[in-house]
Structure formats: structure tokens, C-alpha cells
A = this chain, B = another copy of it.
Amino acid sequence: MKREILLTPGPVELHPRVRLVLSSPQIHHRTEPAREAFLAVREGLKKAFGTEGEVLLFTTSGTGGMEALAAGLFAPGEKVLVPVSGKFSERWAEIGEALGLSVERIELPWGEVLDPEAIAARVSPDTRGLFLTHSETSTGVLNPVAEIAKAAREKNPEILVIVDAVTSLFLSPFALDAMGFDAAVSGSQKGLMLPPGLAFVALGNRALSTLKPRGYYLNLARELESQRAGEGAYTPAIQLVLAAREVLSVLLPELDAHLEKKARWNRALYAIGERLGLVPVPAKGGAPASEAFRSPATAAFYLPEGVSYKALSGAFLARGYRVAGGQGPLKGRVFRVSLMGHFTEEEAQRVLADVEAILEETLLTPGGRPRASRRSG
């Protein structure tokens, strides 16, 4: 199999410490070394999420963690508000609906940045929950979730604010307690640079006081009881827990510098695209959104007129890179390039130079003038 370097917004290039751990002999999960690692990862993730509450590990993808939160914090019939502006915010709505919650969708054009006041205007006294997507991976939008939480809580102080931090944790500043969230979820195969297979569920103190035991495998209350003692209720993906401990031990002490570096690389991706006339997907009121609303997890651009995703991704593949296309209504209309995984500075600069060269070759007309980039509603 030809080696492809992943410029996809998850799974990503693994942290070098991960591969060594994953090739180690199997250890048993109900032993002291396993419990130590499990507790160290929970503690490390509490710092990363910025909460005095709890972090639980689930052996699932991030989606499993999302469902655990929706099931464990809300009862069927309870009213929850879900702004839908991309694939992952739509997933919150689908999960709520599958669990029988009374989901009120706020449908927005995919790629549009959420407006705190517009969302708060939909909050009513009987709105029990608000599901937000911090970094909307499908569109590259970074939503102003702290401002939204604040505005929503002014309308209804009792509302529970649940945040998808799957591609914002370890990429964009995050602070569950300080930003006024009640719970959040992330996954191993994103900012932590592990393979997929672990979800991280963070619960603030208010969420902890309202846990509803529901279901079995994704049951927050049951896991909380086991995980306080350093064990999953069922056999966890212990090899990923060990790998997570390794990466956290190097990432947490330098987290600010890490976030700055990731943001800088992603700005460089946008700068390359915009210089070539590409239109970024993140938008505010229909116009390209400023940098503050672009997720550092991925750069997303509309494909210009006359350039198919197949041609563009093929040009990247020919140079050994895997990029991502659009999902849902953006399928065939956008492409996404991400430096979320592990790269040294030197590797990242080489990738940036290659991205620039590939885009130039693919996008520039023979005369050298950039093709018009296309947006449509």
C-alpha cells in the first residue's frame, strides 16, 4: 500500500510516541499500571477540557461520546435546541431525534458562522439543552461557542450547554468551566493525534448533578462509578489509553505554543488558497468570515469553476497527500486541507510548499490567471 500523508481533518498523522506504544505487548486493563494510565489520562484531559468536573473515556468514535451525552443528560421529550450548519451539528440533531428528545433545529446555510443573538432568541424557558459544534469540521467554521453559551444563559439560566469539541480540543483554546459549558466531547483521532477508537466526554459540575442512567454501554452514570477507580465499566481500548498518556505528557506542558503553531499553519493554508483566488467556506452573513471564525483544524475552500474534487484530490494523491472533500450539500463543491496531525515545523513547511505548488498547478489556467472561485447557495 503506497504511503499517503494525511492532510484530512481526522484521522490524522499520528504522534511519534503513539506508534511505539501501539506496538507494545498487550497489558490487562484491570491491573495497577493500567489503572494508573487510565487515571492519568482522565486527569490530563480534565486540564485540556478546562473543567473541575470529570472526564470519562468511551471505547467508541467521537459519535459514541456525543450519544452518551445526549442520552445521559436529557430525558425523552425534553426540548433541546440544535443549530444545524454542517455535518456534525446535523449529527447532534439526528442523535437527539433518535433518542426521542424534542429537537428544535435552527437550519442555517452550511458554512455560516453561528450568531449568538440569533440563537439566544430561540431559547425559551422550557429549552432544557443547547447542542453546539465548536469546530464544524465539515465547513471549517469555528463557532463563537462561549458567546453563544453566555447569550443563551441570559435567556434561560438553567439551560445545559453541550459542546462538540471533537476538532477544537488541542487546536483552539477551550475551557469548559470558564466558557460556561456544561459538557463537551472529543475523540482520539483528532487533536491528540492517536488512531480512532476513544471518545472523551467532559462533564462540568452542573451536568454531573443531573446524570440520568440510560442505556448500558454509553451510560455516563455507570462509567462514572467505574472510572473514578481507574477502570472502564467494560474492557476499554487500553492500548489507546496508554498512547493517550504518552501524548498528553508532552502536549499539555506546551499546549499554548502548540495551539499557536497549529493556528499559524492553518492561517498559512488559508493565505495560500486566498492568494490563488479561492473562496474560504467559513462565512458570516454570506461573506468570507474573518480569521477568528476559521477553525485551526482545517482550511476549507470552495472548488473553483471547472475544477472537480476528483481532479484536485488526484493531484494531491499524485504527490502523496490525502485531502478531504465536502460532505452533505457541500459534496463535490469544497475541499479541505488539514495540518491537525503531527508534523515537525520542517515537515509542515514542506507540506505548505507542496500544497501551494499543487494548487498552483491545478488551479491556474494556462495563461497563469487564477480561475474564478465559485460559491453558490
Chain A residues proximal to chain B, CB less than 8 Å: 1, 3-4, 6, 8, 10-14, 19-20, 22-29, 31, 33, 59-64, 66-67, 94-95, 98-99, 187, 189, 195-197, 214-219, 232, 234-240, 322, 341
- The minimal Cβ–Cβ distance linking A67 to chain B, given in whole angstroms, is 5
Give Cα A148–Cα B11 distance, bound, in whole angstroms: 44
Contact of A14 among B4, B26, B31, B66 (CB under 8 A): B26
Q: Hey, which chain B residues are within 8 Å of A214, CB to CB?
A: 98
Q: Hey, which chain B residues are within 8 Å of A95, CB to CB?
A: 216
Q: Are A67 and B215 in contact (CB under 8 A)?
A: yes
Give Cα A283–Cα B151 distance, bound, in whole angstroms: 64
Q: Hey, which chain B residues are within 8 Å of A94, CB to CB?
A: 216
Given contacts A195-B237, A197-B197, A236-B196, contact A63 B23 (CB under 8 A): no
Q: Are B98 and A196 in contact (CB under 8 A)?
A: no
Give Cα A11–Cα B232 distance, bound, in whole angstroms: 14
Contact of A238 among B11, B215, B341 (CB under 8 A): B11
Q: Are B235 and A237 in contact (CB under 8 A)?
A: no
Q: How many copies does the complex hold?
A: 2
Give Cα A11–Cα B236 distance, bound, in whole angstroms: 10
Q: Hey, which chain B residues are within 8 Å of A234, CB to CB?
A: 61-64
Q: Are B64 and A59 in contact (CB under 8 A)?
A: yes
- The minimal Cβ–Cβ distance linking A106 to chain B, given in whole angstroms, is 20
Residue in B closest to A233 when the chains form the complex, CB atoms: B63
Given contacts A22-B22, A22-B239, A26-B6, contact A60 B64 (CB under 8 A): yes
* Majority secondary structure of chain A interface residues (helix, strand, loop or mixed): loop
With A22-B22, A64-B234 given, can you name 5 additional A-B contacts, CB distance below 8 Å?
A6-B27, A11-B28, A11-B29, A19-B25, A94-B216
Chain B CB within 10 A, most for which of A6, A26, A95, A189: A26
- The minimal Cβ–Cβ distance linking A180 to chain B, given in whole angstroms, is 27
Contact of A216 among B10, B98, B187, B217 (CB under 8 A): B98
Chain B CB within 10 A, most for which of A10, A61, A98, A215: A61
Q: Hey, which chain B residues are within 8 Å of A31, CB to CB?
A: 4, 322
Q: Hey, which chain B residues are within 8 Å of A195, CB to CB?
A: 26, 237-239
Q: Are B63 and A216 in contact (CB under 8 A)?
A: yes
Give Cα A235–Cα B341 distance, bound, in whole angstroms: 16
Q: Are B25 and A22 in contact (CB under 8 A)?
A: no
- The minimal Cβ–Cβ distance linking A300 to chain B, given in whole angstroms, is 17
Given contacts A28-B11, A67-B217, A196-B29, contact A235 B22 (CB under 8 A): no
Q: Are B13 and A99 in contact (CB under 8 A)?
A: no
Give Cα A237–Cα B322 distance, bound, in whole angstroms: 18
Give Cα A1–Cα B59 distance, bound, in whole angstroms: 24
Q: Hey, which chain B residues are within 8 Å of A24, CB to CB?
A: 19
Q: Are B67 and A197 in contact (CB under 8 A)?
A: no
Q: Hey, which chain B residues are within 8 Å of A13, CB to CB?
A: 25-26
Q: Are A19 and B29 in contact (CB under 8 A)?
A: no
